[in-house]
Each structure stands twice: as structure tokens, then as C-alpha cells.
């Protein structure tokens, strides 16, 4: 029971010290803990260890099913990062990306609020320099810096009794304490998804909030339906974490994604997935 | 102990269990403290009209029934159900003999099976295999018994025998059968069938519920479950049942501590409670958090129409009750209807100007002899109203009781006023039931007097109308919300 709660809501949340003006804006600073700490894993006694896809792979996979992500770019060098930032517009976020990379925040592999070409160049150079041999092949993700004062969690998990489930929860630093979540068995219908939103206790967060419009329920339901569809299409998906899903002008956008599968080669079983992996490899190789 | 074993039993088997032509109590005892005595006693005293037989090692006479030493000594083709109180070690041979006599169902109360370690588990597996070979539906072992009011059947090792009704009970714990039946007895909202699954060796809670889903005597299922072995199969089966009839479930083991207790109770593996909760929402199953909430939800399904919408009007004879009820409605998925102008105008014709003019409709003491039934009819007949909660029933009779018990009675006009008060409360209760039936909308009466003084003319008349008088407005709101959720599920499914 506890492990599922933690599995869903994420592990200990690491707060960066440099900012967070929570009186006004919650600023996205990169991936929060995704709940795969050792205490959590030790409870999954019946499952063999799975494979975690990189953030970029996770996002590519889920985007196919309609999960909304930011327009972000995968780059292989600092100059490419600058070009990407010019296209996206400042400020941007830069994150080191790779299959073997976890705990990005703890390792300082997420750089926020980069407001100029120089800042992007410097930060990206440092990120590439920070990569160790253990990280394997790496790239850098450049994404627009999004501001939001509402944060949700969407995800899937595999229940020992009921099999695959999809979850919607209130996110943010108090997520674990609030534990306001709605869960359904996969597959879900559009009606199920809408009822999940209605089942959250913190309904004030769903309506118009601090000058922002109400959350578009159809769009949020769409995220849940996309997760359900992804797991139906690929039963080797053991879990998905979209944490956080930020609400920007009432629309949900997932700014981090983590997909865990049963097998190392789970995604190579389909042509599409094959192409997906190749793309990311070639990008890294460039 | 699986909850989700797919039963191969046919309707004929369940008919044998719930509507047996004859019953034999195996292991009847002359000792009034033994289950073999109590079950025969309960069977005989509930008015069962089929033939009753008994076996007893010594062939003793028990409660006027001449027992025989063995099943082999009984007639063939007259008995459908064997109620087994013999020790576990005797039961394999017993079942074989029952098969030979054409007995189609066995309820086994004997302990010493799945709950009793490796040897017990082995014995249980053998029992299941033998029952299957003999074509016998096996209920239990280690269960409390079976009740079926259409057959006046009370084959149980415990009390009570509830009034007849349309609630079908199936429980993973026998004690909860008793709890539900006690509530039924107290409220008068009756039971069709009730069974405790015991160890559920061959027939589990969903098997019984599936029978209820097609049982014309049963209108709503009421169930207690603890642990689930195959959640996905359980979900699919509950969903199919709920598509046919309302199904109310209480689950034990909702918290970590409770889950641990459940694991040791039934040997079942606990899952995250919120997963169960979501699965039941998805399946259209009504989940209640307490036994009384579950019973009241089932009793409401059994006795009130399902509301078409969630717009509720509270009708009260006193302000404070209305306020608290409005609070409860606001905290639920129900809504307090903003009174339409035409309804306000209509009610104006029946009440002095000081009435509340909004919802809750506070009659503010302005009622005369016919006001309450008349205003209730106006509200219920309005298109925008989906349900009514009526507060204040029984207060006149409460005063009447004090007058009757005081030393001035029957002089000073007290006899006449006491009669009037009680007659009025009876009228109000009857009006609530009549108008509800005519309009097809729930009208729920709520008063603590239902519990504090059940003989009060108001709640007593509600009981006579076959309905539940809710002990508080909050409990009425909770029950009504469950009906509304089920309506939404029906709309979603269609």
C-alpha cells in the first residue's frame, strides 16, 4: 500500500535552494523525484528489475498517444543548444538526458531560467562536462521555461491485484501529504477520465485559480486517456510518471516523463519503437 | 478462499440452496448450546414449510424431529439442502451419501478447513473435489448459514431471521450477515436472501451475487468483502452484476492496519485501497465505508425510486435541521435546488408569509392540518425537483407521548390532542410514501426519533410503509447520494 502511494506520488522531493517564490509563481525547475528510490524498489519483490527509458525516449513514446509536452529539442552540443534556445525563445531550461541518468536534480543536471545565448552556452557546456562514463551516451534537452501555479501528477502503475491502473493526483511539494488522488483500472473510458477529475477532493484547484482560467477538463481527461492507450498498446509498460503536469493557461502540459518497462528490449518489438530508439541514438551520436 | 472463483454451479444448484424442497441438518444435537441444535431450532422456528430431517449419531429426537443415524437412512429425492454441523473428518463420507440421495446443495458450518493450517487446506480441497464429483453446490465451510425469506428458510447457527424484502446479502464474514440482518430487523426493511461465504472454498461472494443479479426476489445486492485474490476478474464480475442491479459493497482492510487484520482473517492479499475504490467507481458498484451506511444505501435502493437528477429540496418544520441538511448536501454531489418562482408562488398559497421562501423550505410553524402533505405534493410534482428530504416527522407524537405519560392525561383535552398528533404523524409518513410512489421521486424522512423512540407514530408509520426512517438528515443525504451515483452509472452505461 505504502509503496504504491510513494510510487505514484514520487519519492522525497528535492527543492532547489536558489529560487521558488511560492507566493506568486511556482517555477518549474525540472524533474521532481520520480519515486524509484531504494526503499520503494525493495517492496516490489515479485517483479524483476525493469528498464527505465530516458526522459527523451519516454516523451517520444507518450507523445505518440497524445500526451502534451513542451516544444523541446534534443541537442548534442552547446552551439546546437543555443540555436534551439533562439528558436524556442528565452528563458529556457537545459537538462542532461540519457538512459542511465536518474536523480538529475540532485546532481545539478537541470539548469533553469537561462535567459541569453551566453547563459545557454555556458550551462550546456557544463552539463556535457558533468556527464560521467556511467551515464553512457548523453544529450541535452532544451525546453521553454514554463511558469505555472498549479501542478498535477498523472501516471500509471501495476497493481498486484488489479493490474494496470491510471492515476491523477494533486502535485507539488505537498503532494505526498495531501495524497489527493483518483485511480482507475486501465483501460478507461472518456467518462472514467472525467470522473477521475471530479473525484479529486481539491476541486478548487480544478476551477479558475489565482487569475488563471479553469483547467480544461477535456484536455486533462485526454492526458489520462493517452496514458491508458499507451499501456493497452504496450503491456510491457510497467509504470509511467508524468510529474509534474503543469497547468498553463488552463491547459495541461507534461514537463517530465519517465516510462519504466518490464524488459530492456521492450520497445524494440515494434517498428515504430525501433525507429524511435534509432532516432535518439543518432542524435546522441552526432 | 478466493473471492473470484468462477462458479460452475447452475441456477438449479442455487435454487436448491435458497428454495430447498427439504432440508436435513447433519449432526443435529440435543444440547441447546451446540450448533447442531441451534441450526435446527432456527430452521424450525422461522416457519420453513418444506420437510425437515436430521441426523444424529444416536438417532435421538431433537426438537420434535426424529433423527436418523445416517444420511443413508433418509428418503431419496425429498431433500435439496444439507446443513452440515458434523466434524470436518466426517464430511467427505457425508457428502458422498448426500450425492446418493439427490441432494444438490450443502452448507457447511464445520471449521477445521482452509483457516486451520496445511492439513485443513488439504481437507478443504478434498471436500471441494468430492462436492464437484457429486454435483453438489458447496457453500462454506466455516460459514454461518443461509437465509431465504421467500422460502421462510433460516438455516443459520446464529440469529436473527429478518423480515422478507428485496435485499440480497452475500458476505465474506458471517458476522456481517448478522449485522445486516439485525439492521433489517430493526428498520423493517427486509431481506430476500442472505448467505455467509465462510471460507468460500467452492462458492464465493461474487457467485452468490451473480445469482442475485438474476433473482426476481432480489432488487439490490449488499456485500461485505475483505481480500481479493484476482482483482481484475473480481472487477469484471462486479461490473456485470452492477449493470443489472444496484450493488452495495463494504470492504474491510481499507487501512494498513485493517489490511493486516484481513490477511490473517481470510488469508487474502491486500491491495491499495484507492485502487479498489477507483475500480468500484468504474464498475458502478456503490461502496460504503461503514456497515450502517451500506445497509441504509441498500435499504434506500430497495424502497425508494432512483432519482432522475441531483436537485434536492429539504422540507423542514424547524430552521436548524434545514441548515445542517443544506450543509450535508453542499458537501455531497447532490445539489440544493434554487426554488423556481412558480413553486415559491404555489407554496405561498399554503403558508403564512413568514416561511423561508427558499430551500430549505422552512414551514416556520405555519402549518395547519393539511399543510405538510399539500406542500410536499407541490414540491414533488415540480419538474425541477428530483428528491425531497423531509425533516420534523414525529415531533408531534413525541409531545403526545409526554402528555400520555403525564398525570393530567386523559383530562384537559389531552386524549383528543394526543390522538390528533399521532394521526398527523401517521398521515405525514404515509403521504411521503404515497407521493413518492406517484411521482417516482425519492422522499426521505429523517428523524433521530427513528432510533430514540421507534414506536413513535411517525417513524412507526414509515416502517409500516416499508420504507426507512433515517436516523439523521446526514444519513439520508449519504444514502441519496449513493442512489444518484448509481443513476449516473446507469446513464453512462446506456
| Residue A163 pLDDT exceeds 70 | yes
Q: How far apart are CA A243 and CA A169, in angstroms?
A: 10
Every domain of chain A and the residues it spans: 2-70+147-285, 71-145
Buried b (16+ CB within 10 A) or exposed e, A168-205: bbbbbeebbebebbbbbbbebeeebbbbbbebbeeeeb
Q: How far apart are CA B343 and CA B362, in angstroms?
A: 14
Q: How far apart are CA B267 and CA B111, in angstroms?
A: 15
Please state the rounded mean pLDDT for residues B372-385. 97
Buried b (16+ CB within 10 A) or exposed e, B437-449: eebebbbbbbbeb
Domain hosting B379: range is 305-493
pLDDT, chain A, mean:
78
Q: Which of B244, B273, B301 is the last residue of a domain?
A: B301
* CATH number of the structural domain spanning residue B177: 3.40.50.261
Please state the rounded mean pLDDT for residues A197-216. 91
Q: How far apart are CA A219 and CA B263, in angstroms?
A: 41
Which chain A residues touch B270 with a CB distance below 8 Å? Answer: 1
For position A103, what pLDDT does the model report?
A: 67
Record: contact B275-A181, CB cut-off 8 A: no
Q: Does B287 fall in a domain?
A: yes
Q: How far apart are CA A139 and CA A74, in angstroms?
A: 6
Between residues A37 and A271, which one has the greater pLDDT? A271
Instruction: Check: CB of residue B294 under 8 Å from CB of residue B446.
Output: no
Q: Over the stretch A229-239, which tens digit does the pLDDT of each residue have?
A: 999 999 999 99
| Residue B256 pLDDT exceeds 60 | no
Share of chain B above pLDDT 70, in %: 95
Task: Using pLDDT thresholds of 50, 70 and 90, give the confidence band for residue B10.
Answer: confident
Is the backbone of residue B321 left (phi > 0), alpha (psi -120 to 50) or beta?
alpha
For position B67, what pLDDT does the model report?
A: 97
Beta bridge partners of B336: B312
For chain B, say whether A180 makes contact (Cβ under 8 Å): no
Q: Looking at the structure, tell me whether residues B332 and B273 fall in a common domain.
A: no
What's the gap between Cα A204 and its chain centre?
Answer: 24
Q: How far apart are CA A77 and CA B344, in angstroms?
A: 74
| Residue A263 pLDDT exceeds 90 | no
Q: Over the stretch B31-83, which tens digit does the pLDDT of each residue have?
A: 999 999 999 999 999 999 999 999 999 999 999 999 999 999 999 999 999 99
Record: contact A159-B231, CB cut-off 8 A: yes
Q: Looking at the structure, tell me whether residues B152 and B254 fall in a common domain.
A: yes
Indicate the range of B8-22, B354-368, B406-420 predicted with least confidence: B354-368
Beta bridge partners of B53: B24
| Residue A95 pLDDT exceeds 60 | yes
Q: Over the stretch B220-236, which tens digit does the pLDDT of each residue have?
A: 999 999 878 789 999 99
Q: Over the stretch B291-300, which tens digit does the pLDDT of each residue have?
A: 999 999 999 9
Q: Looking at the structure, tell me whether residues B324 and B393 fall in a common domain.
A: yes
Q: Does B1 fall in a domain?
A: no
Indicate the CATH number of A71-145 among 3.30.450.20, 1.10.1470.10, 3.30.1490.20, 3.40.50.2300.
Answer: 3.30.1490.20
Length of chain A: 286
**What is the nearest CA distance from A259 to chain B, expressed in angstroms?**
20
Q: Does B2 fall in a domain?
A: no
| Residue B324 pLDDT exceeds 50 | yes
Compute φ and ψ for B159, nearest 5 degrees.
Answer: -85, 170
- Which residue from A75, A78, A22 is spatially nearest to A285, judged by alpha carbons? A75
For position B266, what pLDDT does the model report?
A: 42
Indicate the range of A260-274, B23-37, B114-128 predicted with least confidence: A260-274
Give the H or E element holding residue B445: strand B443-446
Q: Looking at the structure, tell me whether residues B96 and B199 fall in a common domain.
A: yes
Pairing relationship of beta strands A163-170 and A181-185 according to DSSP bridges: antiparallel
Count other Cβ atoms within 10 Å, centred on residue A132: 10
Nearest residue in A to B268, CA atom: A161
DSSP secondary-structure letter at B145? E
Q: Looking at the structure, tell me whether residues B146 and B224 fall in a common domain.
A: yes
Indicate the CATH number of A2-70+147-285 among 2.160.10.10, 3.30.470.20, 3.90.550.10, 3.40.640.10.
Answer: 3.30.470.20
Task: Using pLDDT thresholds of 50, 70 and 90, give the confidence band for residue A12.
Answer: very low
For position B369, what pLDDT does the model report?
A: 85
Q: Does B250 fall in a domain?
A: yes
Q: Does B340 fall in a domain?
A: yes
Pairing relationship of beta strands B164-171 and B220-225 according to DSSP bridges: parallel
For position A173, what pLDDT does the model report?
A: 79
- Residues 50-79 (B) with a CB less than 8 A from some CB of A: none
What is the predicted ipTM?
0.85
Give the H or E element holding residue B297: helix B291-303
**What is the nearest CA distance from B232 to chain A, expressed in angstroms?**
5
Three cell numbers, residue A78: 552547446
Q: How far apart are CA B187 and CA B466, in angstroms?
A: 9
Count other Cβ atoms within 10 Å, centred on residue B8: 11
Q: Looking at the structure, tell me whether residues B339 and B281 fall in a common domain.
A: no
Question: How many beta-carbon contacts under 8 Å exist across A and B?
Answer: 61
Q: Over the stretch B340-370, which tens digit does the pLDDT of each residue have?
A: 999 999 999 999 888 989 999 998 877 788 9
Cell 482452509, residue?
B114
Three cell numbers, residue A216: 480544461
Q: Does B348 fall in a domain?
A: yes
Is the backbone of residue B47 left (phi > 0), alpha (psi -120 to 50) or beta?
left
Choose the mutation target among A161, A180, A200 for the interface with B, i.e. most B CBs under 10 Å: A161
Q: Looking at the structure, tell me whether residues B138 and B270 fall in a common domain.
A: yes
Who's near B215: CB < 8 A, 6+ residues apart? Answer: B18, B168, B192, B193
Indicate the range of A116-130, B87-101, B243-257, B282-296 predicted with least confidence: B243-257
Record: contact B272-A183, CB cut-off 8 A: yes
Q: Which of B271, B301, B331 is the last residue of a domain?
A: B301
Nearest residue in B to A191, CA atom: B492
Please state the rounded mean pLDDT for residues B438-465. 97
Task: Using pLDDT thresholds of 50, 70 and 90, give the confidence band for residue A167.
Answer: very high
State how many domains chain B has: 2
CA neighbours within 13 Å on the CB side: how many for B73? 13
Kindly report the three-state secondary structure assignment for every residue of chain A. Answer: CHHHHHHHHCCCCCCCCCCCCCCCCEECCCCCCCCCCHHHHCCCCCCCCCEECCHHHHHHHHHCCCCCECCCEEECCHHHHHHHHHHHCCCEEEEEECCCCCCCCCCCCEEEEECCHHHHHHHHHHHHHHCCHHHCCCEEEEEECCEECCEEEEEEEEECCCEEEEEEEECCCCHHHHCCEEEEECCCCHHHHHHHHHHCCCHHHCCCECCECCCCHHHHHHHHHHHHHHHHHCCCEEEEEEEEEEEECCEEEECCCEEEECCCCHHHHCHHHHHHHHHHHHHHHC
Share of chain A above pLDDT 90, in %: 53
Q: Looking at the structure, tell me whether residues B267 and B349 fall in a common domain.
A: no
Task: Using pLDDT thresholds of 50, 70 and 90, give the confidence band for residue B454.
Answer: very high
DSSP secondary-structure letter at B249? E
What's the gap between Cα B429 and its chain centre?
Answer: 22
Cell 447457527, residue?
B157
Q: Over the stretch A183-202, which tens digit does the pLDDT of each residue have?
A: 999 999 999 999 999 999 98
Between residues B188 and A266, which one has the greater pLDDT? B188
Q: Is B103 helix (H, G, I), strand (E, B) or coil?
A: coil
Choose the mutation target among B234, B251, B272 for the interface with A, i.e. most A CBs under 10 Å: B272
Count other Cβ atoms within 10 Å, centred on residue B239: 19
Indicate the range of A156-165, B6-15, B400-409 predicted with least confidence: B6-15
For position A196, what pLDDT does the model report?
A: 96
For chain B, say whether A134 makes contact (Cβ under 8 Å): no
Who's near B373: CB < 8 A, 6+ residues apart? Answer: B427, B428, B431, B435
For position B227, what pLDDT does the model report?
A: 77
| Residue B127 pLDDT exceeds 80 | yes
For position A141, what pLDDT does the model report?
A: 93
Pairing relationship of beta strands B191-196 and B145-148 according to DSSP bridges: antiparallel
Q: How far apart are CA B376 and CA B390, in angstroms?
A: 9
Q: Does B4 fall in a domain?
A: no
Burial category of B269 from C-beta neighbours within 10 Å (exposed 0-12, middle 13-18, buried 19 and up)? middle
Record: contact A161-B273, CB cut-off 8 A: no
> ω into residue B152 within 30 of 0, thus cis?
no
Q: Is B287 helix (H, G, I), strand (E, B) or coil?
A: strand
Pairing relationship of beta strands B191-196 and B153-156 according to DSSP bridges: unpaired
Q: Over the stretch B76-107, which tens digit does the pLDDT of each residue have?
A: 999 999 999 999 999 999 999 999 999 999 99
For position B411, what pLDDT does the model report?
A: 96
pLDDT, chain B, mean:
93
Three cell numbers, residue B458: 411517525
| Residue B190 pLDDT exceeds 90 | yes
Burial category of B385 from C-beta neighbours within 10 Å (exposed 0-12, middle 13-18, buried 19 and up)? buried
Q: What angle is formed at CA A234 by the lines to CA B493 and CA B282, rounded to 5 degrees?
A: 20
Share of chain B above pLDDT 90, in %: 87
Q: Which of B276, B301, B326 is the last residue of a domain?
A: B301
Who's near B154: CB < 8 A, 6+ residues apart? Answer: B42, B43, B45, B46, B48, B145, B147, B161
Q: How far apart are CA B46 and CA A172, in angstroms?
A: 60
Instruction: Check: CB of residue B387 under 8 Å from CB of residue B341.
Output: no
Q: How far apart are CA B426 and CA A170, in angstroms?
A: 50
Record: contact B278-A1, CB cut-off 8 A: no
**What is the nearest CA distance from B268 to chain A, expressed in angstroms?**
11
Q: How far apart are CA A35 and CA A155, in angstroms?
A: 12
Q: Looking at the structure, tell me whether residues B480 and B416 fall in a common domain.
A: yes
| Residue B262 pLDDT exceeds 90 | no
Indicate the range of A10-24, A115-129, B166-180, B297-311 predicted with least confidence: A10-24
Q: Looking at the structure, tell me whether residues B355 and B217 fall in a common domain.
A: no
Cell 543555443, residue?
A82
Q: Looking at the structure, tell me whether residues B281 and B313 fall in a common domain.
A: no
Q: How far apart are CA B243 and CA A16, in angstroms?
A: 50
For position A43, what pLDDT does the model report?
A: 36
Task: Using pLDDT thresholds of 50, 70 and 90, give the confidence band for residue A108.
Answer: confident
Which of A1, A184, A199 is the closest to B256 by Cβ?
A1
| Residue B3 pLDDT exceeds 80 | no
Q: Does B6 fall in a domain?
A: no
For position B201, what pLDDT does the model report?
A: 94
Q: Looking at the structure, tell me whether residues B320 and B443 fall in a common domain.
A: yes
Q: Is B136 helix (H, G, I), strand (E, B) or coil?
A: coil
- Which residue from B101, B169, B96, B173 is spatially nearest to B140, judged by alpha carbons? B173
Count other Cβ atoms within 10 Å, centred on residue B358: 13
Record: contact B282-A182, CB cut-off 8 A: no
Q: What angle is formed at CA B194 by the lines to CA B188 and CA B198, rounded to 5 degrees?
A: 140
Amino acid at each position: 500500500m505504502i509503496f504504491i502511494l510513494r510510487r505514484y506520488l514520487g519519492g522525497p522531493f528535492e527543492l532547489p535552494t536558489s529560487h521558488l517564490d511560492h507566493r506568486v509563481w511556482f517555477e518549474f525547475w525540472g524533474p521532481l523525484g520520480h519515486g524509484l528510490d531504494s526503499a520503494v524498489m525493495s517492496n516490489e519483490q515479485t517483479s524483476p528489475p525493469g528498464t527505465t527509458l530516458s526522459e527523451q525516449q519516454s516523451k517520444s513514446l507518450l507523445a505518440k498517444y497524445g500526451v502534451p509536452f513542451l516544444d523541446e529539442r534534443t541537442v548534442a552540443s552547446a552551439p546546437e543548444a543555443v540555436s534551439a534556445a533562439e528558436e524556442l525563445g528565452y528563458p529556457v531550461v537545459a537538462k542532461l538526458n540519457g538512459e542511465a541518468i536518474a536523480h538529475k536534480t540532485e546532481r545539478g543536471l537541470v539548469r533553469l531560467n537561462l535567459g541569453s545565448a551566453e547563459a545557454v552556452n555556458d550551462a550546456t557546456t557544463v552539463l556535457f562536462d558533468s556527464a560521467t562514463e556511467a551515464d553512457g551516451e548523453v544529450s541535452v534537452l532544451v525546453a521553454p521555461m514554463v511558469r505555472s501555479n498549479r501542478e498535477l501528477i498523472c501516471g500509471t502503475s501495476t497493481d498486484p491485484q488489479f493490474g494496470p491502473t491510471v492515476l491523477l493526483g494533486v502535485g507539488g511539494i505537498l503532494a505526498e501529504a495531501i495524497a489527493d488522488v483518483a485511480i482507475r483500472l486501465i483501460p478507461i473510458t472518456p467518462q472514467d477520465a472525467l470522473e477521475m477529475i471530479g473525484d479529486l477532493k481539491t476541486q478548487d484547484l480544478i476551477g479558475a485559480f489565482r487569475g488563471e482560467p479553469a483547467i480544461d477538463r477535456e484536455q486533462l481527461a485526454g492526458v489520462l486517456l493517452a496514458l491508458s492507450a499507451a499501456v493497452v498498446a504496450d503491456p510491457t509498460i510497467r509504470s509511467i510518471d508524468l510529474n509534474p503536469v503543469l497547468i498553463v493557461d488552463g491547459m495541461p502540459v507534461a514537463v517530465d516523463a519517465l516510462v519504466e518497462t518490464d524488459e530492456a528490449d521492450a520497445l524494440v518489438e515494434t517498428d515504430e519503437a525501433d525507429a524511435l530508439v534509432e532516432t535518439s541514438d543518432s542524435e546522441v551520436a552526432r | 478462499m478466493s473471492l473470484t472463483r468462477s462458479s460452475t454451479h447452475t441456477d438449479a444448484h442455487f435454487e436448491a440452496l435458497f428454495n430447498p424442497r427439504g432440508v436435513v441438518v447433519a449432526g443435529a444435537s440435543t444440547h441447546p448450546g451446540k450448533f447442531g441444535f441451534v441450526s435446527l431450532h432456527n430452521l424450525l422456528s422461522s416457519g420453513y414449510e418444506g420437510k425437515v430431517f436430521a441426523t444424529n449419531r444416536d438417532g435421538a429426537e431433537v426438537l420434535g424431529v426424529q433423527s436418523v443415524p445416517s444420511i443413508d437412512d433418509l428418503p431419496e429425492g425429498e431433500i435439496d439442502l444439507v446443513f452440515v454441523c458434523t466434524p470436518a473428518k466426517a464430511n467427505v463420507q457425508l457428502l458422498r451419501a448426500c450425492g446418493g440421495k439427490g441432494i444438490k446443495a450443502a452448507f457447511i458450518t464445520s471449521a477445521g478447513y482452509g483457516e486451520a493450517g496445511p492439513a485443513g487446506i488439504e481437507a478443504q480441497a478434498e471436500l471441494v473435489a468430492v462436492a464437484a464429483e457429486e454435483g453438489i453446490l458447496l457453500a462454506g465451510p466455516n460459514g454461518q448459514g443461509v437465509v431465504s425469506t421467500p422460502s421462510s428458510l433460516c438455516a443459520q447457527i446464529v440469529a436473527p431471521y429478518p423480515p422478507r424484502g428485496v435485499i440480497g446479502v452475500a458476505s465474506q464474514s458471517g458476522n456481517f450477515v448478522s449485522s445486516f440482518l439485525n439492521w433489517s430487523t430493526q428498520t423493517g426493511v427486509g431481506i430476500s436472501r442472505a448467505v455467509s461465504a465462510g471460507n468460500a472454498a467452492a462458492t464465493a461472494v461474487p457467485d452468490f451475487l451473480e445469482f442475485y443479479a438474476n433473482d426476481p426476489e432480489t432488487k439490490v445486492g449488499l456485500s461485505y468483502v475483505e481480500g481479493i485474490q484476482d482483482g481484475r476478474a473480481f472487477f469484471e464480475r462486479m461490473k456485470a452484476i452492477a449493470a443489472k442491479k444496484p450493488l452495495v459493497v463494504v470492504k474491510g482492510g481499507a487501512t494498513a492496519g485493517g489490511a493486516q487484520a484481513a490477511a490473517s482473517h481470510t488469508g487474502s492479499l491486500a491491495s491499495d485501497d484507492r485502487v479498489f475504490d477507483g475500480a468500484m467507481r468504474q464498475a458502478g458498484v456503490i461502496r460504503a465505508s461503514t456497515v450502517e451506511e451500506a445497509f441504509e444505501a441498500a435499504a434506500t435502493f430497495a424502497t425508494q425510486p432512483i432519482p432522475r437528477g441531483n436537485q434536492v429540496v429539504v422540507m423542514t418544520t424547524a430552521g436548524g435541521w434545514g441548515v445542517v441538511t443544506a450543509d450535508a448536501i453542499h458537501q455531497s454531489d447532490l445539489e440544493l435546488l434554487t426554488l423556481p418562482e412558480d413553486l415559491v408562488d404555489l407554496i405561498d398559497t399554503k403558508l403564512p408569509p413568514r416561511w423561508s421562501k427558499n430551500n430549505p423550505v422552512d414551514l416556520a410553524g405555519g402549518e395547519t392540518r393539511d399543510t405538510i402533505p399539500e406542500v410536499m405534493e407541490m414540491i414533488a410534482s415540480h419538474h425541477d425537483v428530483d428528491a425531497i428530504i423531509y425533516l420534523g416527522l414525529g415531533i408531534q407524537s413525541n409531545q403526545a407521548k409526554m402528555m400520555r405519560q403525564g398525570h393530567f392525561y386523559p383530562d384537559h383535552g389531552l386524549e383528543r390532542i394526543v390522538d390528533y398528533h399521532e394521526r398527523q404523524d401517521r398521515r405525514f409518513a404515509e403521504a411521503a410514501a404515497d407521493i413518492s410512489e406517484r411521482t417516482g421521486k425519492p422522499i426521505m424522512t429523517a428523524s433521530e426519533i427513528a432510533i430514540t423512540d421507534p414506536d413513535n407514530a411517525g417513524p412507526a408509520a414509515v416502517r409500516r410503509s416499508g420504507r426507512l426512517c433515517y436516523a439523521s438528515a446526514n444519513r439520508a443525504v449519504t444514502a441519496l447520494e449513493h442512489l444518484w451515483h448509481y443513476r449516473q452509472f446507469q446513464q453512462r452505461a446506456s
